[in-house]
Amino acid sequence: MSALLEVTGITKRYPGVVANDNISLTVNAGEVVALLGENGAGKSTLLKAVFGLIKPDSGEIKISGTPIVFGDTAGVISRGVGMVHQHFQLVPVMSVAENIILGDEPRRGIFINKKAAHDEILALSKRYGLEVDPEAIIEDLPVGMQQRVEILKALRKDVKLLILDEPTAVLTPQEIDELLGVIRNLANSGVGIVLITHKLHEVMAVADRVVVLRGGKLVGATSPKETDEAGLAQMMVGRSVVLQVNRTEAKRGAVVLEVKGLQVRDDRKILSVKGVDLSLHKGEILGVAGVEGNGQREFVEAICGMRHREAGEVLINGVATKDMHPHAVHKAGISHIPEDREKHGLVANYSIADNLVLNQFDQAPFAKGWVRNLAEVAKSAISTVEKFDIRTPSAFNTASSLSGGNKQKVVVARELSEDLPVLIAAQPTRGVDVGSIEFIHNQLISARDKGAAVLLVSAELDEILSLSDRIAVMSDGKIVAIVESKDADRNYIGRLMAGLKE
Amino acid sequence: MSETNVDKKVVKSQSEKSSKNFDVGSWLVPIVAVLVAMSLAAILIKLQGLNPIAAYKSLFKTAFGSIEGLGVTLGKSTPLVLSGLAVAVGLRAGLFNIGAQGQLLSGALAAAWAGVTFDGLPGYIHVPIALIIGAFFGSVVAGISGFLKAYRGVHEVITTIMLNSIVMGVADYLASHQLREPDQFLTRTAEIQPSAKLPIYANLPLGFFIAVVLAIVIWWILGRTTSGFRIETVGRNRHAAWYAGIPVKRTVISAMLISGAIAGLGGAVETLGITYRYAPAFNLGLGFDGITIALLGRVHPIGIIPGAILIGGMRAGAANMQFDSGVAPELVDLLMALILLLVTAPLITRFFKNNSNKSMTSGWGN
Ligand SMILES: Nc1ncnc2c1ncn2[C@@H]1O[C@H](COP(=O)(O)OP(=O)(O)OP(=O)(O)O)[C@@H](O)[C@H]1O
Ligand SMILES: [Mg+2]
């Protein structure tokens, strides 16, 4: 019997980089293979080649013993391969059922057979134990539910091989546990699964085998039984990684940022921040913990002047900042790592260098009056790319050519390069590899030690726990508790996040 | 370790090319488009029983074969460079200014008025004043669309198209009433004063050099100044621009004002350099040709110049071509249409390809 997926000698070059260098890999039915590697190691490239989204330069890919035609996505899908991409490919204004059947609709004459679609989705959802409401509109659903729709979409055609590219990056811990359960069940029913993730405990929990890429090459294979998280990290990065942050006691200073009675509506005009008071001190990291969708995003956007403040005030050093005016807020002293790097953080077809100065392009030394100083932009870009280890052949490549985690590093680098009194970091390490997480964490701490007031919002409770000096728990649009980190207990915070009273 | 230790020299040369990636391969598209369009048109000429080689030969010989011919060509190209530039500036800011036509007409009429009315000025004052007035009116017309886009969210395609009709109606009305040449049968303005006429040096029209200098200035502004960076950023990612603190609304309006001013200048140059008066129907289509030329020049301020010269040359040579080979001058319109189709087709396919790629592969796990 031939293996379900057999990749032999795949090489893919981009100008200046070999994204995949002679990679061979097999996946058998019923097993979960985790694909690990640093940002830019070539993981997405390899799986895009398998799914027929890009054409490799050489090599061969066989599914159940028969070679695929490079670049023929439709052919690959018809052979029983499904792929879930992290960024949803759902049409926000359409229903769950419509999104799932899109591209291959059950018909009655020239019309879509809605009844058949509805029933099909219900059956599908029952079969895999992934509950969804077929009539719900996508944009009204939380991300975890949207992810479920993505998975159902991939599973709709009897899938033999399921490819998951960082499916857990935006999920809450509970949703992740559920997803890992689904993955296990699918594998037990004979589906072969390839999973990319940067979260090593997920690998330990669900993978049968682990394959590690570095710099486009396959550098090793192991299994969770033979190693531990530190071992995996070492294989990925090629050095030992400190997974635990070394944090000294904070020297808390005066209040810098003050939020008073803030109320904010979300995109659906529903009040999602319901009166928040918070003070952030110089020299501390204040972590905001909470289950995603409890108002954190709206809270951050309102502070940064990107979302209308229904009521309340945001003061920096006692001075009120302007509503809906990100530029003024930035000038007043807030830098902000935005949650949605594709939408707000980057201009995809600008160079990395231009992206690195996006919020300072008109200031010295990057501009002299009206004229941009491109030499300075270039000089600073080259050193930042080096310092943040952004993996690219050149600082003048477009941002769109970067791997996901490297895009994130560009945004983080830009916001950290400014030394403003307040830093608001929303999901700063989303999609970033362990080595770079370590680096970004150290940067946040050193910003704090230099006197910045840091507000950290993260869906990763572990990140909050290990970095924060104080932890504010947000639930249903309110801060339900503020805990000193030395008193913080994982379970207690988890219960608060879930909205339970003590 | 990181692959970032790039040779400093390489980096320097790349930064000097400015950060906009200028990729030679992409310039094959317009060249191929023109060649394919000419071949297709040649087949049609052949089907009519005429000789395409003779037609093209006559066309290009008239347009580029003599210094006089070249002068006419450059004269015809001048408003085309400007209307192409106007459309390109809009596109850089993510705005589809279909209204170059209306802006150009208002500039043409305003310049005619200034050319007729002001009396006793020396040329070096009269010409710039008339040009500035033309640019101003073009700018005002485009500014309306910019304002509606920024503060009312009305799509600029709709408003610019509507303003085209409005401007045309108003201009024709003015040209047949208040601004009509007194005691004349024709509906048109009087001829402008000699002092308002754009000088022609040794067959080469001054207007063309104004247009080229302007294209270079716009290129520099877009690539090297903070205002240009704002326009480009708004055009490429409005959300990121807003997040980065770029005043998006103000930038949209300024881009429309600049775009309209350039189109208005195009109309003024046409009046002061070629027609010497405004008459309804004189400037038909120049603004629309700007769309083709902007796309043919890949929305690059300098790239627009050769495209405009090519099309200006065809327009200059069309009459002679009919005389020499019997091919109707409408051939030029056919060529324009084919070229537009062919340059946009790759843009369209790339748009869809990019989009599908994007929707399938972008995201955190990219
Ligand atoms: N379209 C492209 N053009 C140029 N280079 C590219 C392109 N896509 C990917 N690359 C390069 O190929 C390499 C591998 O990228 P890939 O996206 O496969 O990384 P990855 O392992 O998925 O990283 P991450 O964990 O950050 O998602 C990177 O150096 C990236 O810059
Ligand atoms: Mg990736």
Facing A404 at nearest CB: one of B2, B21, B365: B365
Q: What is the mean pLDDT of residues A455-466?
A: 90
| C-alpha distance from residue B20 to each of A413, B17, B186, B194, B224 (Å) | 21, 7, 50, 44, 10
Candidate from B83-87, B119-123, B263-267 with smallest mean pLDDT: B119-123
**Which DSSP string corresponds to A28-52?**
-TT-EEEEEE-TTSSHHHHHHHHTT
Query: What are A275-324's pLDDT values in tens digits?
Result: 999 999 999 999 999 887 889 989 999 999 989 999 999 999 999 998 88
Interchain CB distance below 8 Å, B19 and A354: yes
Q: What pairs with residue A274 in β-bridges?
A: A263
User: Which pLDDT score is estimated for A86?
Assistant: 67
Q: What is the pLDDT of residue A63?
A: 94
pLDDT at B1: 36
Residues 6+ apart with CB under 8 A from A67: A60, A61
Name beta bridge partners: B172.
none
Amino acid found at A380: S
ipTM: 0.83
Spell out a b/e string for B122-140, using b for 16 or more CB atoms within 10 Å of the CB, else e: eeeebbeebbbbbbbbbbb
Helix, strand, coil content of chain A in percent (nearest 5): 35, 25, 40
Residues 6+ apart with CB under 8 A from A149: A88, A90, A96, A99, A100, A132, A138, A141
DSSP A202-253: HHHHH-SEEEEEETTEEEEEE-TTT--HHHHHHHHHSS----S---PPP---
Q: How confident is the model at residue B3 (pLDDT cuts 50, 70, 90)?
A: very low
Residue among B199, B202, B221, B220 at smallest CA distance from B210: B199
Domain locations in chain A?
A: 5-237, 255-497
Beta bridge partners of A78: none
DSSP type of residue B168: H
pTM (predicted TM-score)? 0.85
Q: Answer yes or no: are the C-beta atoms of B273 and B205 closer than 8 Å.
A: yes
Mutation target to probe the B interface, by most B beta carbons within 10 A, among A12, A199, A342 is A342
* Distance from Cα A195 to the centre of ligand 2, integer Å: 11
Write the residue in A327, A389, A395 that is nearest to B247 by C-beta: A327
Express each pLDDT in B102-141 by its tens digit.
999 999 999 999 988 888 888 888 899 999 999 999 999 9
Strands (E), chain B: 200-201, 204-205
Q: A130: number of CA atoms within 13 Å, CB side?
A: 30
The CATH architecture annotation of domain A255-497 reads 3-Layer(aba) Sandwich (3.40)
In angstroms, the CA A327 to CA B230 distance is 13
* Cα–Cα distance, A168 to A201 (Å, whole number): 12
Q: Residue B361 above 60 pLDDT?
A: no
Residue bearing the bigger pLDDT, B305 or B193: B305
pLDDT for B217 equals 97
- Range scoring the smallest mean pLDDT among A14-23, A126-135, B21-30: B21-30
CATH class of A5-237: alpha beta
Among candidates B10, B233, B360 on the partner chain, residue whose Cβ is nearest the Cβ of A53 = B360
- Kindly list the distances between the CA atom of residue B122 and the CA atoms of B108, B131, B200, in Å, as whole numbers in the listed order: 21, 14, 16
**Greater confidence, A486 or A33?**
A33
At residue B327, the pLDDT reads: 83
pLDDT confidence of B145, banded at 50, 70, 90? very high
pLDDT, residue B349, reads: 59
A17-21, A115-119, A173-177, B104-108: least confident range: A173-177
Shortest Cα–Cα distance, B250 to chain A (Å): 13
A234 C-alpha to center of ligand 2: Å? 19
Burial of A476 (0-12, 13-18, 19+ CB in 10 A): middle
A210-243 pLDDT, tens per residue? 999 999 999 999 999 999 999 999 998 888 877 7
| The pair of three-digit structure tokens given for residue B340, joined into one six-digit string | 């537009």
Residue nearest ligand 1's atom 29 by CA: A40
Q: Residue A442 burial by CB count (10 A; 0-12/13-18/19+): exposed, middle or buried?
A: middle
Chain B: closest CA distance from residue A391 (Å): 6
User: CB neighbours (10 Å) of residue A350?
Assistant: 24
Chain A positions touching B244 (Cβ under 8 A) are 326-327, 358-359
Name the average pLDDT for chain A.
90
Task: State residue B234 phi and psi, 5-degree precision.
Answer: -60, -40
What pLDDT, on the 0 to 100 scale, is given for residue B293?
A: 92
Lowest mean pLDDT among A410-424, B58-72, B273-287: B273-287
Task: Classify the phi-psi angles of A333: left when phi > 0, otherwise alpha if psi is within -120 to 50, otherwise beta.
Answer: left
Omega prior to A365 cis, within 30 of 0: yes
- Does residue B40 or residue A267 have the better pLDDT? B40
Mean pLDDT value across residues A69-75: 91
- Answer whether B178 touches A (CB < 8 Å): no
Among A21-35, A422-436, B176-190, B304-318, top mean pLDDT goes to A21-35
CB contact under 8 A, B244 and A374: no
Q: Which of B 247-266 lie inside 8 A of A, CB atoms?
A: 247
Class of domain B79-355: mainly alpha
pLDDT for B350 equals 59
Least confident of A134-143, A316-325, B167-176: A134-143
CB A459, CB A170: distance < 8 Å = yes
CA distances from B71 to A133, B208, B273, B323 (A): 71, 10, 12, 20
What is the pLDDT, as a whole number, of residue B364?
34
The protein residue with its alpha carbon nearest to ligand 1, atom 17, reads A403
Neighbours of ion ligand 2 (CB under 5 A): A 44, 404; B 365
Extract the tokens encoding A409: 């590093």
Q: Which pair of structure tokens corresponds to residue A207?
A: 């993978």
Which chain B residues touch A354 with a CB distance below 8 Å?
Answer: 19, 229
